[in-house]
Amino acid sequence: MVDGVFYLEESPVHGYRLLYSTKNRFGNTNELAVFHMTGRGIETVEDPSAFFLAGRCNAPGSAVLCSYQGSSPFIAEIQALINTSSFQYPRRQVTGLELNRAYLIIAILERYLGLKLSTCDVFLNVAGGIRISEPGSDLAAAAAVISSYRKKTMPKDMVFTGEIGLGGEVRGVSRLEERIKKAENLGFQSVVLPAGGALYRGKKIKVIEVGHISQLGELLAKN
């Protein structure tokens, strides 16, 4: 019997340290803290979202998600790269996301948007070396795949949050208002979220509702 289980990992970006909690009798599980080494020792990164977005370039296959890790919302970048495969069995390489959820997203995009991903190698990565397990990352992952497949960039100031069901429907996520506020505070101009999310209206951020994955495809075709 233990009170807590924590993992301290080194991020591939600039030697940062990522502290995950998977069990904690005295607080939330799935918490994430970011640290970096200085001349004074290891210090806390006060705004992990800025760290996760550092060095981001607005290229095809880049999408920003607003997720929840433990008790705090954070912003991160999901990257996708889609290439025509030269192998009999196309490659599927996923880093930072749950592999099975990535498979579901690929299948849903093929079924409802007609993307011919069965003949393509698909690479998905969460920038910064973090791991995301919550379903709220589905919409951003799908947007990144669509963007790379179509070789078309998205607005750099757009952020995504939402779960995708097997029928292609976009489902709600917890603590939606806090996610939107986080994106708004970081200067994002629009947020794409599940239908019904427009009940929250930010002061400056534009709320865009999508009820089905087909609507996401139409939205990204316009931008």
- Domain extent listing, the chain: 4-46, 49-222
pLDDT tens-digit map of 50-69: 777 877 888 999 999 998 87
pLDDT tens-digit map of 198-212: 666 666 899 999 999
Q: Which of 31-35, 74-78, 204-208, 214-218 has the highest mean pLDDT?
A: 214-218
**pLDDT score, position 1:** 67
| Closest C-alpha among 155, 212, 222, 218 to residue 183 | 155
Higher pLDDT, 115 or 30: 115
Q: What average pLDDT does range 71-96 have in this prediction?
A: 91
Q: What average pLDDT does range 20-35 have in this prediction?
A: 69
Return left, alpha or beta for 128; rule: phi > 0 is left, psi -120 to 50 is alpha, else beta.
left
**pLDDT score, position 16:** 74
**pLDDT score, position 200:** 64
**pLDDT score, position 97:** 95
| Closest C-alpha among 135, 140, 182 to residue 160 | 140
Q: What average pLDDT does range 120-138 have in this prediction?
A: 91
Band (106; pLDDT cuts 50, 70, 90):
very high
| Beta pairing partners, 72 | 69
Q: What average pLDDT does range 176-180 have in this prediction?
A: 89
pLDDT tens-digit map of 10-19: 766 666 777 7
Of 2.170.120.40, 3.30.230.10, 3.40.50.450, 2.130.10.10, which CATH number belongs to 49-222? Answer: 3.30.230.10
